[in-house]
Copies of this chain bind each other. A is one copy, B any other.
């Protein structure tokens, strides 16, 4: 829990920033107001969080171009050292007295249904929660967030795919506190749905559905992965069985070193393979979906060619644990294989002999085959079968091939993927220590 002095300091800084924002608005040819939103506004922030979010609300009819222009003008006036970032609109991000400050322009719409952009939604969330979270519940929200951080399931960014702050607050509100929430969660049978306003206007295909009380068409938990929901249920049971402060402390794994990697490989007798490339210079929310799709594609490609994957993971180096650090420099698609080689021949089943036209054309195409690698056609059961030359007999051949290059979905990853390095076997140990943290998590997996 944040200390009183920490809360007081934050409140003073936020008030000062809001005042300066109003002064900057006064210089504009249009009017606007300022709302502080987010957990620091509601006293539901977790100690150590340093975010102050100020929304500048312009008239709902202001056109987008002007909103962006005025919004940036205000932002630069309040945060002269700030820089521009881009969510739905461009906005200014900077630091002030040690806090991270976002100054975000939005439209002042009547209801969430009138949204001009997703950013405009935030003040509605804020108003909904502020009206309902008393001090007790706010304290429980802080606990819930700390717990989710501790177990690694907090954050709705597309890398984590965890619980957003808003989702956490809604769940604490819905269940009536942190303990009732974990008591409920331990017995959930997904799909689980909450709709506090009873106003859902569609169905959702997610394991956890929390209908946004300010928008009947939106599932606040849409980003949450099945794994993070399961993780929450697992640790809810652990917490209730044996309460422990440790569960509220995020794991901070030490990077695995090359010798540590080799030890695991010796014990496991797997063949590791890694495709390593420059991480494209995009934000994590763009990078990670591309990495996951690429990993899925590579795993499918490996399995489909008989290189059976035991377990795989997308990794980035260095900055993984530091949300404010530089974005990753290198990315790796890491797979442990049960099978890294296949024979020169592969079985290829033809049609049943009885299917005369197809059977005849299959038979003729291979009977005339002068390739000495082809065995058959022979008959197995009711079909023609040949054993013909296999396209890729080693995992390296496949990973270096154009076929593997085609699976990297996402334009930015695809470009970098063309210049990939392929490591097979003990050579993957050279990924440590740069990739030491995700390697530690890979080789010492916990729920």
Q: Which residues of A contact B (CB under 8 A)?
A: 186-190, 207, 226-227, 229-231, 233-234, 237, 267-271, 306, 308, 310-311, 336, 338-339, 342-345, 347, 352-356, 359-360, 363, 372-373, 375-384, 387, 393, 443, 445-447
Tell whether A345 pairs with B382 under 8 Å between CB atoms, given A233-B354, A311-B387, A363-B234.
no
Pairwise interchain contact B310-A379, C-beta atoms closer than 8 A: no
Pairwise interchain contact A352-B310, C-beta atoms closer than 8 A: no
CA distance A231 to B267 in the complex (A): 50
- Of B237, B336, B359, B381, the residue contacting A227 (CB under 8 A) is B381
- Of B233, B267, B352, B372, the residue contacting A353 (CB under 8 A) is B233
A443 / chain B contacts, CB cutoff of 8 Å: 375
Copies in the assembly, this chain? 2
Pairwise interchain contact B445-A382, C-beta atoms closer than 8 A: no
A353 / chain B contacts, CB cutoff of 8 Å: 230-231, 233-234
Most B C-beta atoms less than 10 A away, residue of A226, A347, A379: A379
Task: Please give 9 more A-B residue pairs, beta carbons under 8 A apart, in addition to A310-B345, A375-B445.
Answer: A189-B354, A207-B382, A226-B381, A227-B382, A230-B379, A267-B344, A269-B343, A306-B308, A377-B447
Pairwise interchain contact B446-A354, C-beta atoms closer than 8 A: no
CA distance A287 to B399 in the complex (A): 48
A207 / chain B contacts, CB cutoff of 8 Å: 382
Tell whether A186 pairs with B356 under 8 Å between CB atoms, given A269-B344, A393-B269, A447-B378.
yes
Pairwise interchain contact B306-A338, C-beta atoms closer than 8 A: yes
Pairwise interchain contact B360-A190, C-beta atoms closer than 8 A: no
Q: Closest residue of chain B to A192, judged by CB?
A: B354
Pairwise interchain contact A270-B381, C-beta atoms closer than 8 A: no
- Of B229, B308, B344, the residue contacting A268 (CB under 8 A) is B344
Pairwise interchain contact B269-A352, C-beta atoms closer than 8 A: no
CA distance A347 to B270 in the complex (A): 12
CA distance A347 to B345 in the complex (A): 27
- Of B187, B270, B384, B393, the residue contacting A343 (CB under 8 A) is B270
Pairwise interchain contact A270-B382, C-beta atoms closer than 8 A: no
Most B C-beta atoms less than 10 A away, residue of A234, A308, A343, A445: A343
A311 / chain B contacts, CB cutoff of 8 Å: 347, 387
**A235 to B: closest C-beta gap in Å:** 10
Most B C-beta atoms less than 10 A away, residue of A347, A353, A446: A353
A360 / chain B contacts, CB cutoff of 8 Å: 237
Pairwise interchain contact B380-A227, C-beta atoms closer than 8 A: yes
Q: Closest residue of chain B to A345, judged by CB?
A: B268
Pairwise interchain contact A379-B347, C-beta atoms closer than 8 A: no
CA distance A189 to B354 in the complex (A): 5
